[in-house]
Amino acid sequence: MENILRPIYQERASHSNTLAIIMIEKRNQISPLTDNLDVVLLVIINESSQSIYVKHYEYEDKKASVTVMTQDELNESILLGTNRRIVDWVLNGKVLFDRNEYIVSLIERLRSFPFTERKLKIGIEYGKLIRRYQEGKAFFESKQLLDAYNNIVHSLHHLARLEVIDQGYHPEVTVWNQVKQIGPQIYKLYKELVESDESLEKRLELLFLASDFLIHSKTEVGAAHILTIMTGKETWFYNELHHHPELIYYSVDLSVILEYLVEKNYVSVKRIETKGKGIYHRAYFVTKKY
């Protein structure tokens, strides 16, 4: 198939805007890694006027796709985990073209996983973890057990990814294989939830008790990124935090993580008078405790 695709990637490689081309081949009969196509070509370019685009090709009984994305889109995808296959593609794909060792440098960065990137990714996962956990608990308290189960499974997944990142690794698609070695306590919780013979209600009840402790125990790790940013200024209005260039990645989860930190006394609230009688602005600041 590589021979068939050669004219396509050679034409791409001739463009000065192209930084690298990677080929990922189907490994198994069912291959989510390649969307069940036989081959995927990932073309990384310097810049483009349009967002990520994908083309599908067919030759005899073989199917392929070409995904073109800018280096900024690639970095954001890795950072936010919006396409978890990307890390696998970069680390395990066959490099067909590499301008100025762009891929060599990228792989080195992925393997070393710089501390600043880790802190940000952990913060994003922690925000998602708290939101899913709180939504699950609300469903549980209203006896919506299946919705509670769905949310707690997702919260455990975010907790697992947080643990993997904290240990210096990028979470893979098969994150539970990683967690089995790295975070056995979290793996055990997950196993008990999905395999226990107890009733669903009892399993959820026990899991919420255990998760309360685990989530709280991860606060200083999970919230280190946002708390570090907040120490750079005496007080913050929410809108200032929301538009901070690093905190924008938290998206809708920023509010929920901020309120959680207030509840746990890592962040305090200063009330500032408005023109409306009895109405105050909320300004946030890191407590001395932190």
pLDDT tens figures, 234-245: 999 999 999 999
In CATH, which of 1.20.120.330, 3.30.565.10, 2.30.30.100, 3.40.50.300 is domain 126-211? 1.20.120.330
With bands split at pLDDT 50, 70 and 90, how would you rate the model's confidence at 49? confident
Residue 69 has pLDDT above 60, yes or no: yes
Model pTM score: 0.86
Q: Which CATH class is domain 2-112?
A: alpha beta
Section 64-79 average pLDDT: 90
The answer to which of 16-20, 72-76, 130-134, 285-289 has the lowest mean pLDDT is 285-289
Query: Over pLDDT 70: what percentage of the chain?
Result: 98
Is the domain spanning 223-290 CATH 1.10.10.10? The answer is yes
pLDDT digits (tens, 9 = 90+) for 116-154: 889 999 999 999 999 999 999 999 999 999 999 999 999
Tell me the two tokens of residue 14.
Answer: 């001739």
pLDDT at 58: 87
Q: Is the pLDDT of residue 264 over 90?
A: yes
Domain residue extents for the chain: 2-112, 126-211, 223-290
What pLDDT does 161 receive?
92
pLDDT for the residue 62: 86
